[in-house]
Structure 1
Amino acid sequence: MSSPIKLADHFHGERCAISFELFPPKTEAGMKLLETNVERLKAFEPSFFTCTYGAGGSTQSRTLDVVERVRQMTGLPVASHLTCVGSTVAELRDYLAEARRRGAEYIVALRGDPPKGSESFQAVEGGLRYGNELVELIRESFPDQFGIAVAGYPEVHQEAPDAQTDLDNLKRKVDAGADIVVTQLFYDNDDFYRFRDACVAAGIEVPIVPGILPVTNFKQAQRIAGMCKARIPDDMAAAMNENDDADYQFKVGVDHARVQTIDLIENGVPGIHYYVLNKSDAAAQMLDGLSLGAPSS
């Protein structure tokens, strides 16, 4: 039996590696639709998929259902998200053991957002406070069993007092054992390039992978920007404001993400992580004809 591909190794090839993020559907019909879209996305030769994990662990079992199903369907590595929210160290270890048993090879390790109604993050008794502590736990409890991705914020995490503090927090996560950094979504590549330069200056040497969301309407873009503090460029806002026709707005959003993708490739990113919201139409149009993904065997 061959050894699993290490997470960072996906980003050392000649081609720009890509990956897709999914979320756990709430219904069986949603799972069937997810499977259809995964089959379509697989044609773009991603290196792996990831699946999110609901606030407070609310979708733990469904997350692992997706991990297991996508692993069976595609034969590709699948990463489970994992947060510190609402879980003790013992519960985190139990989740990790079950994730490994069900085929997860990678973990996206996150502190997590404060529970709904809370203004700040509070660790439960016996739990963890910071993302770097979660990375340390994984490395100590499951040595060499998981690849680990952590989150970076080109426009600064909304709770960080300044960019330097945010960068120091990221460095702690990498020093604890993270293999790659995947960024929060952004709409202006210059924000990513400034962030990448700052990471290099701080001594962060793991691959920095940009995260892109192909938005399909302006209301969606505004809502997401408000949630994660992402700036919408003036030209994108102006174009989407010209016409509220659904097809027009879809095209503007997809075209913007395609331009972002091409520019990122030309500027030497090792890979791109796409937040596809369990859909494939936008990703398929955005990636059509581009030389991305794993090389064909």
Structure 2
Amino acid sequence: MKVIDKIHKAEQEGRPFWSFEYFPPKTAQGVQNLYDRMERMQRYGPEFIDVTWGAGGSSAELTTEIVATAQSVYGLETMMHLTCTNMPVQEIDDALEKAKNCGCQNILALRGDPPKGQETWESCKEGFEHAIDLVRYIRKKYGDYFCIAVAGHPEGHIDNPDKDADLQYLKDKVDAGADLVVTQLFFDIDMFTAFYKKARAIGINVPILPGVFPIQNYTGLKRVISFNDNFVPQKIWDELEVIKDDDTAVKEYGINLAVEFIKKFREIGINGFHLYTFNLERSSRIILERLNLVAPLEAVKPLPWNQCLTSKRAKENVRPIFWKNRTKSYLQRTETWDEFPNGRWGDSRSPAFGELDGWGINLKYPVDQCIKMWGYPTCIDDIAQTFARYCKGQIAGIPWSAQQLDPETDIIRQRLAAINLLGYLTINSQPAVNGVRSSDKIYGWGPRNGYVFQKAYLEFFVSPDKLNELIDKISGNPQVTYYAVNKRGDFRTNTQNDEPNAVTWGVFPGKEIAQPTIVEGVAFMAWKDEAFELWNRWARIYDRESDSARLILDVCSNWYLINIVHNDFQDENGIWRLFDLEIDGEISRKLMQSNGISR
């Protein structure tokens, strides 16, 4: 969707809106950390995010990759920066096509900074001289497909001391086809107000989003203003002087200053603002909290999983639960599908998952961090302790999930830790939910005034002996269905047919019942290859002949992957009773041991 359409909608509804800016990190781990942060910050409800383009096109490839991932994996409406610096027309065409192919319809057209080591800006051969040339080119070649934003300079451009002339250049960019203006950061609110009023007076009628930079530390502020020689009022310097050596106090000052600015924007009729996050999360979150800004839940979470914003998957409304914690691999496995859902989960479905090779499986953490989290296991209890520690939030991830458990698992967190200590190594779960309001902050999703439901679900690895014991218990409970499989493909189930089993659904006014999350046999068999391969990846961080590698490979070769659905969603404890006979006596002892408590 075009950002300008989202802004117009927010303006029509009379509600405030905001956006976040990120830059491409320099390391692979930094990129992974940024993705984790973007996913968390999605919950704060930005209308869109934008991703910067490194000076001289230095981060061009990574920028387009981050844009594509944000659109497809995290469902974030994204605006891609695009500069003229070191960018001949052919490379601009390539960048625009990549943006279009991944569903990005928003471009921030900039002249750009000089390349590294070059003091003055010069156009490259077969490139553009000014941002307006880029705006005109995009409009001529793509018509109205892209929303085009341009930069505004409240203090005037550093290369143009004539502020009035610079403002006229901004109007020329708007007249050439720009849809909105995003300003550079500033620290003088009166200067911005004067700029805004002059812009309106000369006929710049498109939305103007003020760029807000929450000050993080004293030296960081000095570095930031050195880029464009920004003016900082003496009052701010004086107030910072007292606390400049206390980073915590400076951050608090920066948050309060940003809140003050945003309140003043409202006084002059500006409902939206753009936060320069510098890839940091805390200040942005606190600013929104102190302003009591909460995005409508149906906008943040229209489905229980992040909806892909590529045009090809625009109608996708059903996914298997197995890839809940590994969305990117699911998207890559299904990228060749022509339509969604296209009967994939009905009678005409096809096992069209892509091959395991070609899209890659990884642990998402460097080896030293993996070892720090998971140690050197030498027995099953060591592995169980690692899984339990993850469930209790004591380590950041496990191979099957690189992020912390969702808030909805808080009510079952201790039980998850408990059954892991008993040898049921959990990798996916959800609690039973019976008719919670769709506006609920933890479980809610979809349109307002609806109700959402969930069946209790558990997925875990289990030894063959424990699997047999568990299946005996399941056989006496008609409400429980399961699929189990080992690495070799030996398959067991108690389902009477191969129809999809909806485990999440919602009932909303004036709509059919939505069933966006399912358990399904074909999908489970495709997922099992990835699930078992992650054991191999874990083993590879150790010496091949070590006890740790041997233990992990033994689990991979001999244990089963099983998923269990308790179909009575009104019975919130039903799934746990399958483990009660063991939990009653053993549970407290093992939990106390895992917490370092002895009797």
> Which bracket does the TM-score occupy, shorter chain normalised?
over 0.9
Alignment partners' CA distance in 1, 2:136 and 2:189: 31
Report if the CA contact (8 A) 1:84-1:127 is conserved.
Answer: yes
1:118 alignment partner in structure 2: 118
Q: Distance in 2 between matches of 1:171 and 1:71?
A: 30
- CA distance 1:15–1:233, shift in 2 (3 Å): same
8 Å CA contact 2:88, 2:128 repeated in 1? yes
The whole-number CA distance in structure 2 between the counterparts of 1:228 and 1:253 is 19
Q: How does 1:55-204 map to 2 (within 5 A)?
A: 55-204=55-204
Q: Does the CA-based 8 Å contact 1:45-1:294 persist in structure 2?
A: yes
Q: Deviations over 1:156-183 (max 9, x none)?
A: 1100131111112111111110000000
Distance 2:120 2:26 in 1: 27
Match of 1:220 in 2: 220
Name which one, 1 or 2, has greater alpha-carbon Rg.
2
Number of aligned residue pairs: give it.
294
Residue 262 of structure 1: aligned partner: 263
Secondary structure of the structure 2 residue equivalent to 1:71: helix
What is the rounded CA distance, in whole Å, between the counterparts of 1:118 and 1:152 in structure 2? 23
Q: Displacement of 1:223 after TM fit?
A: 1.5
**Aligned residues of 1:182 and 1:209 also touching (Cα < 8 A):** yes
Letter matched to residue 37 of structure 2: N
CA shift, 1:6, in A, is: 4.7
CA distance in 2, matches of 1:222, 1:118: 21
Contact 2:265 2:271 in 1 (8 A): no
Matched, 1:28 2:45: no
Q: Any idea what SS the aligned residue of 1:43 has?
A: helix
Letter in 1 for 2:169: N
Checking the alignment, whether the CA contact within 8 Å between 1:188 and 1:232 is kept in structure 2 is: yes
| CA displacement, residues 232-286 of structure 1 (integer Å, 9 cap, x when unaligned) | 1222212211021121111111111121122212332131001101110111112
Q: Measured at CA, do residues 209 and 293 of structure 1 come closer, stay the same or move farther in structure 2, by a change above 3 Å?
A: farther
C-alpha deviation, 1:123, in angstroms? 1.0
Q: Which amino acid is the alignment partner of residue 10 of structure 1?
A: I
Counterpart position of 1:51: 51
Match of 1:7 among 4, 12, 24: 4
One-letter amino acid of the structure 1 residue matched with residue 194 of structure 2: R
1:29/1:6 Cα in 2 relative to 1: closer, same or farther (>3 Å)? Answer: closer
For residues 90-126 of structure 1, what are the alpha-carbon distances to aligned partners after superposition, in whole Å with 9 as ceiling and x for unaligned?
2211211111112321000001112233332211121
Instruction: Classify the secondary structure of the residue corresponding to 2:44.
Output: coil
- Separation (CA, whole Å) in 2 of partners of 1:133 and 1:232: 32
Q: Percent identity?
A: 38
1:272 aligned onto 2:269 = no
- One-letter amino acid of the counterpart of residue 95, structure 1: A
Deviation at 1:290, TM superposition (A): 2.2
Instruction: Using structure 1 for the length normalisation, give the TM-score.
Output: 0.94
The whole-number CA distance in structure 2 between the counterparts of 1:38 and 1:91 is 27
2:248 matched to which residue of 1?
247
Q: Tell me by how many angstroms 1:28 deviates.
A: 2.0
Structure 1 residue 27: Cα displacement: 1.7
Tell me the equivalent position of 1:287: 288
Q: Take 1:229 and 1:82, find their aligned partners in 2: how far apart are those partners?
A: 23
CA separation in 2, counterparts of 1:156 and 1:8? 28
Quick one: distance in 2 between partners of 1:195 and 1:66? 33
Report the AA paired with residue 20 of structure 1. F
> Could you report, residue by residue, the CA deviation over 1:5-37 in whole angstroms, capped at 9, with x for unpaired residues?
452541424112100001112222112211222
Separation (CA, whole Å) in 2 of partners of 1:117 and 1:37: 32
Shift of 1:89: 1.5
CA distance in 2, matches of 1:291, 1:141: 42
Write the distance in 1 (CA, Å) between the matches of 2:77 and 2:104: 7
Q: Which runs of 5+ in 1 are unaligned?
A: none
What is the root-mean-square deviation in Å for CA atoms of aligned residues?
Answer: 1.6
Deviates more, 1:10-19 or 1:247-256: 10-19
Deviates more, 1:174-183 or 1:21-30: 21-30
Deviations 1:42-100 (A, max 9, x none): 12211101000111111111001111111234323101100001111122112111111
Letter in 1 for 2:133: E
SS for the counterpart of 2:274 is: strand
Q: Which letter does structure 2 place at the counterpart of 1:218?
A: Y
**Alignment gaps of 5+ in structure 2:** 299-599
User: Quick one: which amino acid aligns to residue 259 of structure 2?
Assistant: R
Looking at structure 1, the residues matched to 199 and 5 of structure 2 have their Cα atoms a distance apart, in angstroms, of 16
